[in-house]
Amino acid sequence: MAAAVGAATGGLRRILLLERLPRLGGILNQCIHLGFGLQYFKEELTGTEYAARYKQMVSERDIEVRTSCFVHRITPHREITFVCADGEFAVSAENIVMATGCRERTREMLTVPGTRPAGIFTAGLAQEMVNIYGVMPGKEAVVIGSGDIGLIMARRMTLEGAKVHAVLEILDHLSGLIRNKVQCLDDFGIPLYLQHELLEIMGKDRVEAIRYRNNQTGEEKVLACDTVLFSVGLIPEQDLLIEAGIKPGNGIHLVGNADYIHDYVDAVTREAEKLGKSLT
Protein backbone atom coordinates (compact mmCIF):
# COMPACT_ATOMS: atom_id res chain seq x y z
CA MET A 1 0.00 0.00 0.00
CA ALA A 2 2.77 2.42 0.94
CA ALA A 3 4.52 2.02 -2.42
CA ALA A 4 1.22 2.69 -4.23
CA VAL A 5 0.51 5.71 -2.02
CA GLY A 6 4.02 7.03 -2.64
CA ALA A 7 3.71 6.59 -6.40
CA ALA A 8 0.27 8.26 -6.50
CA THR A 9 1.46 11.13 -4.31
CA GLY A 10 4.38 11.56 -6.66
CA GLY A 11 1.91 12.00 -9.52
CA LEU A 12 1.99 8.56 -11.13
CA ARG A 13 -1.24 7.39 -12.79
CA ARG A 14 -2.37 3.90 -13.69
CA ILE A 15 -1.34 2.16 -10.52
CA LEU A 16 -2.62 -1.38 -9.95
CA LEU A 17 -2.41 -2.84 -6.45
CA LEU A 18 -2.84 -6.62 -6.36
CA GLU A 19 -3.47 -8.47 -3.09
CA ARG A 20 -3.85 -12.22 -2.70
CA LEU A 21 -6.17 -12.07 0.34
CA PRO A 22 -9.74 -10.70 0.36
CA ARG A 23 -8.62 -7.52 2.12
CA LEU A 24 -5.63 -5.21 2.10
CA GLY A 25 -3.18 -5.11 4.98
CA GLY A 26 -1.42 -8.47 4.82
CA ILE A 27 0.05 -9.73 8.08
CA LEU A 28 -0.79 -6.43 9.84
CA ASN A 29 -4.41 -7.55 10.03
CA GLN A 30 -3.55 -10.28 12.49
CA CYS A 31 -1.28 -8.02 14.57
CA ILE A 32 -3.89 -6.80 17.03
CA HIS A 33 -1.24 -5.79 19.58
CA LEU A 34 0.07 -2.26 20.08
CA GLY A 35 3.47 -0.99 19.05
CA PHE A 36 2.92 0.20 15.50
CA GLY A 37 3.04 3.74 14.15
CA LEU A 38 5.09 5.57 16.81
CA GLN A 39 7.55 6.80 14.20
CA TYR A 40 5.28 7.31 11.21
CA PHE A 41 1.98 8.43 12.73
CA LYS A 42 3.49 9.64 16.04
CA GLU A 43 0.96 7.64 17.98
CA GLU A 44 0.74 4.06 19.15
CA LEU A 45 -1.53 1.90 17.00
CA THR A 46 -2.30 -1.78 16.58
CA GLY A 47 -1.18 -3.40 13.34
CA THR A 48 -4.81 -3.60 12.25
CA GLU A 49 -5.24 0.15 12.82
CA TYR A 50 -1.99 0.86 11.02
CA ALA A 51 -3.26 -1.07 8.00
CA ALA A 52 -6.61 0.75 8.20
CA ARG A 53 -4.86 4.15 8.07
CA TYR A 54 -3.11 3.08 4.89
CA LYS A 55 -6.29 1.64 3.39
CA GLN A 56 -7.82 5.08 3.87
CA MET A 57 -4.83 6.72 2.17
CA VAL A 58 -5.08 4.25 -0.73
CA SER A 59 -8.81 4.88 -1.18
CA GLU A 60 -8.24 8.65 -1.36
CA ARG A 61 -5.86 8.26 -4.28
CA ASP A 62 -6.13 7.17 -7.87
CA ILE A 63 -5.10 3.56 -7.24
CA GLU A 64 -6.89 0.55 -8.72
CA VAL A 65 -7.14 -2.08 -6.01
CA ARG A 66 -7.87 -5.72 -6.73
CA THR A 67 -8.03 -8.12 -3.81
CA SER A 68 -8.27 -11.94 -3.93
CA CYS A 69 -5.87 -11.83 -6.87
CA PHE A 70 -2.91 -14.14 -6.78
CA VAL A 71 0.20 -13.29 -8.79
CA HIS A 72 2.00 -16.49 -9.68
CA ARG A 73 4.32 -15.56 -12.50
CA ILE A 74 6.63 -12.73 -13.45
CA THR A 75 8.88 -12.33 -16.46
CA PRO A 76 12.06 -10.27 -16.98
CA HIS A 77 9.99 -8.11 -19.37
CA ARG A 78 7.84 -6.98 -16.46
CA GLU A 79 4.85 -9.04 -17.38
CA ILE A 80 2.93 -10.64 -14.56
CA THR A 81 0.21 -13.26 -14.54
CA PHE A 82 -2.41 -13.36 -11.84
CA VAL A 83 -5.42 -15.49 -11.14
CA CYS A 84 -8.73 -14.57 -9.50
CA ALA A 85 -12.34 -15.70 -9.50
CA ASP A 86 -12.79 -14.06 -12.95
CA GLY A 87 -9.97 -16.00 -14.59
CA GLU A 88 -6.30 -15.74 -15.31
CA PHE A 89 -4.93 -12.45 -16.58
CA ALA A 90 -1.62 -11.02 -17.75
CA VAL A 91 -0.57 -7.42 -17.17
CA SER A 92 2.60 -5.63 -18.11
CA ALA A 93 3.93 -2.53 -16.39
CA GLU A 94 6.82 -0.08 -16.48
CA ASN A 95 7.55 -0.89 -12.89
CA ILE A 96 6.71 -3.84 -10.70
CA VAL A 97 7.04 -3.52 -6.95
CA MET A 98 7.24 -6.77 -5.04
CA ALA A 99 5.88 -6.05 -1.57
CA THR A 100 5.34 -9.72 -0.83
CA GLY A 101 6.59 -9.71 2.76
CA CYS A 102 8.30 -12.67 4.28
CA ARG A 103 7.65 -16.17 5.56
CA GLU A 104 8.66 -17.88 8.76
CA ARG A 105 11.31 -20.53 9.11
CA THR A 106 9.74 -23.79 10.21
CA ARG A 107 10.47 -26.86 12.26
CA GLU A 108 11.11 -28.80 9.06
CA MET A 109 13.87 -26.40 8.02
CA LEU A 110 15.62 -26.98 11.34
CA THR A 111 15.19 -30.76 10.92
CA VAL A 112 14.37 -31.11 14.60
CA PRO A 113 14.48 -34.81 15.47
CA GLY A 114 11.49 -36.64 16.92
CA THR A 115 7.93 -37.24 15.81
CA ARG A 116 5.60 -35.16 13.63
CA PRO A 117 2.40 -34.80 15.68
CA ALA A 118 -0.24 -32.07 15.63
CA GLY A 119 0.50 -29.10 17.87
CA ILE A 120 3.55 -27.70 16.07
CA PHE A 121 2.93 -24.25 14.61
CA THR A 122 4.90 -21.26 13.47
CA ALA A 123 4.18 -18.33 15.75
CA GLY A 124 2.52 -16.52 12.85
CA LEU A 125 0.11 -19.38 12.15
CA ALA A 126 -0.79 -19.50 15.85
CA GLN A 127 -1.39 -15.75 15.69
CA GLU A 128 -3.74 -16.17 12.72
CA MET A 129 -5.60 -18.95 14.56
CA VAL A 130 -6.13 -16.89 17.69
CA ASN A 131 -6.63 -13.41 16.26
CA ILE A 132 -8.44 -14.05 12.97
CA TYR A 133 -10.27 -17.34 13.52
CA GLY A 134 -10.71 -17.23 17.30
CA VAL A 135 -9.42 -20.73 17.99
CA MET A 136 -6.74 -21.81 20.44
CA PRO A 137 -3.84 -23.93 19.20
CA GLY A 138 -3.22 -25.42 22.64
CA LYS A 139 -3.15 -25.11 26.41
CA GLU A 140 0.45 -25.87 27.43
CA ALA A 141 2.92 -24.16 25.15
CA VAL A 142 6.62 -23.72 24.63
CA VAL A 143 8.04 -21.13 22.26
CA ILE A 144 11.18 -22.00 20.32
CA GLY A 145 13.22 -18.95 19.33
CA SER A 146 12.96 -15.44 20.70
CA GLY A 147 11.82 -13.63 17.56
CA ASP A 148 9.25 -10.87 17.98
CA ILE A 149 6.24 -12.89 16.83
CA GLY A 150 7.19 -15.63 19.31
CA LEU A 151 7.35 -13.12 22.17
CA ILE A 152 4.05 -11.53 21.14
CA MET A 153 2.41 -14.95 20.92
CA ALA A 154 3.75 -16.01 24.31
CA ARG A 155 1.77 -13.11 25.77
CA ARG A 156 -1.24 -13.64 23.51
CA MET A 157 -1.54 -17.33 24.43
CA THR A 158 -1.21 -16.44 28.12
CA LEU A 159 -3.95 -13.82 27.84
CA GLU A 160 -6.24 -16.42 26.26
CA GLY A 161 -5.71 -18.82 29.13
CA ALA A 162 -2.84 -21.04 27.99
CA LYS A 163 0.20 -21.78 30.13
CA VAL A 164 3.37 -20.74 28.30
CA HIS A 165 6.17 -22.61 30.03
CA ALA A 166 9.19 -20.97 28.48
CA VAL A 167 10.83 -19.36 25.49
CA LEU A 168 13.95 -21.25 24.41
CA GLU A 169 16.67 -19.41 22.48
CA ILE A 170 19.71 -21.22 21.13
CA LEU A 171 21.79 -18.02 20.93
CA ASP A 172 23.23 -16.16 23.92
CA HIS A 173 21.04 -13.13 23.22
CA LEU A 174 17.45 -12.18 22.49
CA SER A 175 16.45 -12.15 18.79
CA GLY A 176 13.46 -9.82 19.11
CA LEU A 177 13.08 -6.33 20.53
CA ILE A 178 13.92 -5.67 24.23
CA ARG A 179 10.56 -3.89 24.48
CA ASN A 180 8.77 -7.11 23.54
CA LYS A 181 10.75 -9.15 26.07
CA VAL A 182 9.77 -6.74 28.84
CA GLN A 183 6.13 -6.37 27.85
CA CYS A 184 5.43 -9.93 26.70
CA LEU A 185 7.62 -12.15 28.89
CA ASP A 186 8.73 -10.30 32.03
CA ASP A 187 5.30 -8.78 32.73
CA PHE A 188 3.73 -12.23 32.54
CA GLY A 189 6.41 -14.19 34.35
CA ILE A 190 7.36 -16.26 31.29
CA PRO A 191 11.01 -17.36 31.51
CA LEU A 192 13.45 -16.84 28.64
CA TYR A 193 16.15 -19.51 28.52
CA LEU A 194 19.17 -18.37 26.49
CA GLN A 195 21.64 -20.89 25.02
CA HIS A 196 19.02 -23.60 25.22
CA GLU A 197 18.60 -25.97 22.30
CA LEU A 198 15.54 -27.98 21.31
CA LEU A 199 16.66 -31.59 20.84
CA GLU A 200 13.49 -33.55 20.18
CA ILE A 201 9.73 -33.27 19.79
CA MET A 202 7.79 -36.12 21.40
CA GLY A 203 4.20 -37.31 21.09
CA LYS A 204 2.35 -39.72 18.82
CA ASP A 205 -0.70 -37.84 17.53
CA ARG A 206 -0.42 -34.58 19.47
CA VAL A 207 2.69 -33.01 20.99
CA GLU A 208 3.29 -34.49 24.46
CA ALA A 209 6.68 -33.08 25.42
CA ILE A 210 9.95 -31.67 24.20
CA ARG A 211 13.49 -32.53 25.15
CA TYR A 212 15.97 -29.67 25.33
CA ARG A 213 19.50 -28.96 26.51
CA ASN A 214 21.14 -26.12 28.36
CA ASN A 215 24.19 -25.65 26.13
CA GLN A 216 26.13 -23.92 28.91
CA THR A 217 25.87 -26.77 31.40
CA GLY A 218 25.04 -29.62 29.04
CA GLU A 219 22.05 -30.52 31.20
CA GLU A 220 19.12 -32.09 29.34
CA LYS A 221 15.49 -31.86 30.39
CA VAL A 222 12.08 -33.05 29.23
CA LEU A 223 9.22 -30.59 29.42
CA ALA A 224 5.60 -31.73 29.07
CA CYS A 225 3.53 -29.53 26.75
CA ASP A 226 0.90 -29.89 24.02
CA THR A 227 2.02 -27.06 21.75
CA VAL A 228 5.32 -25.92 20.26
CA LEU A 229 5.49 -22.52 18.58
CA PHE A 230 8.45 -21.73 16.34
CA SER A 231 9.78 -18.21 16.04
CA VAL A 232 13.16 -18.91 14.52
CA GLY A 233 13.62 -16.33 11.84
CA LEU A 234 12.02 -14.86 8.74
CA ILE A 235 12.87 -15.31 5.09
CA PRO A 236 12.15 -12.59 2.50
CA GLU A 237 9.52 -13.90 0.09
CA GLN A 238 11.32 -13.61 -3.26
CA ASP A 239 10.44 -16.97 -4.72
CA LEU A 240 8.58 -15.60 -7.75
CA LEU A 241 11.81 -13.93 -8.83
CA ILE A 242 13.98 -16.89 -7.86
CA GLU A 243 11.81 -19.30 -9.85
CA ALA A 244 11.97 -17.05 -12.91
CA GLY A 245 15.70 -16.47 -12.46
CA ILE A 246 15.20 -12.70 -12.23
CA LYS A 247 17.33 -10.29 -10.24
CA PRO A 248 15.78 -6.99 -9.06
CA GLY A 249 16.49 -4.06 -11.41
CA ASN A 250 15.23 -3.09 -14.85
CA GLY A 251 11.93 -1.88 -13.35
CA ILE A 252 11.51 -4.77 -10.93
CA HIS A 253 11.77 -3.74 -7.29
CA LEU A 254 11.76 -5.48 -3.94
CA VAL A 255 10.57 -3.53 -0.94
CA GLY A 256 9.88 -4.04 2.75
CA ASN A 257 10.37 -7.48 4.25
CA ALA A 258 10.47 -8.97 0.78
CA ASP A 259 13.77 -7.09 0.40
CA TYR A 260 15.21 -7.68 3.87
CA ILE A 261 13.72 -8.21 7.32
CA HIS A 262 12.78 -5.02 9.18
CA ASP A 263 12.05 -4.50 12.88
CA TYR A 264 9.38 -1.82 12.43
CA VAL A 265 6.53 -1.44 9.95
CA ASP A 266 7.09 2.30 10.10
CA ALA A 267 10.48 1.84 8.43
CA VAL A 268 8.94 -0.50 5.86
CA THR A 269 6.29 2.00 4.83
CA ARG A 270 8.79 4.90 4.72
CA GLU A 271 11.05 2.96 2.37
CA ALA A 272 8.09 1.86 0.26
CA GLU A 273 6.70 5.38 -0.07
CA LYS A 274 10.14 6.65 -1.04
CA LEU A 275 10.44 3.92 -3.65
CA GLY A 276 6.92 4.73 -4.94
CA LYS A 277 7.76 8.39 -5.36
CA SER A 278 11.00 7.55 -7.17
CA LEU A 279 9.03 5.71 -9.86
CA THR A 280 7.43 8.85 -11.27
Partner 1 sequence: MRERPETDIVIIGGGIVGASLAYELAKYQLKVVLLEKEAELSFGVSKSNSGIVHTGFQDDPSSLKARLAVRGNQLYREMARLLDFPFIPTGELVVAFPGEREALEQIKENGERLGIPGLEMVDGKWIRVHEPNLSSEIECALLGPTAAVINPYEVIYAMAENAASNGVKTYCDSEVISITRGSDGWKVKTSNSEYTTRYVMNAAGLSADAISQMAGIRAPRIIPWKGEEFILDRHADRLTKNIIFPIPRKETKGILVIPTVDGNTMIGPTSEEIDDKEDLTTSEAGKEKVLKSIKRIVPCVREEQIIASFAGLRPAIEEDEFYIREEQDGFVNIVGIKSPGLTAAPAIAEYVVDMLAKKMRLSPRQGYIATRRAIPRFRHLGSDERNRLIKEDPGYGEVVCRCELVTKSEIREAIKRGARTLDGIKFRTRSQMGRCHGAFCTMKIMAIMAEELGVPYDRITKRGRGSELVREGHELQAL
By the criterion CB under 8 A, which residues form the site for partner 1?
A: 20, 68, 70, 72, 81, 83-88, 103-104, 106-109, 111, 113-119, 121-122, 124-125, 128-130, 132-139, 160-161, 200, 204-206, 226, 239, 242
CB nearer to partner 1: pick between 134 and 249: 134
CB nearer to partner 1: pick between 151 and 234: 234
CB of 138 to partner 1, least distance (A): 5
CB-based contacts of 211: which residues, under 8 Å, 6+ apart?
A: 114, 198, 199, 200, 202, 220, 221, 222, 223
Task: Check: CB of residue 272 under 8 Å from CB of residue 278.
Answer: no
CB of 188 to partner 1, least distance (A): 18
CB of 161 to partner 1, least distance (A): 8
CB nearer to partner 1: pick between 4 and 130: 130
Spatial distance between the Cα atoms of 14 and 245, rounded to a whole number of angstroms: 27
56: exposed, middle or buried (C-beta count within 10 Å: 0-12, 13-18, 19+)?
exposed
CB of 114 to partner 1, least distance (A): 5
Task: Check: CB of residue 229 under 8 Å from CB of residue 235.
Answer: no
**How many other CB atoms are there within 10 angstroms of residue 218's CB atom?**
7
CB nearer to partner 1: pick between 94 and 205: 205
CB nearer to partner 1: pick between 84 and 279: 84
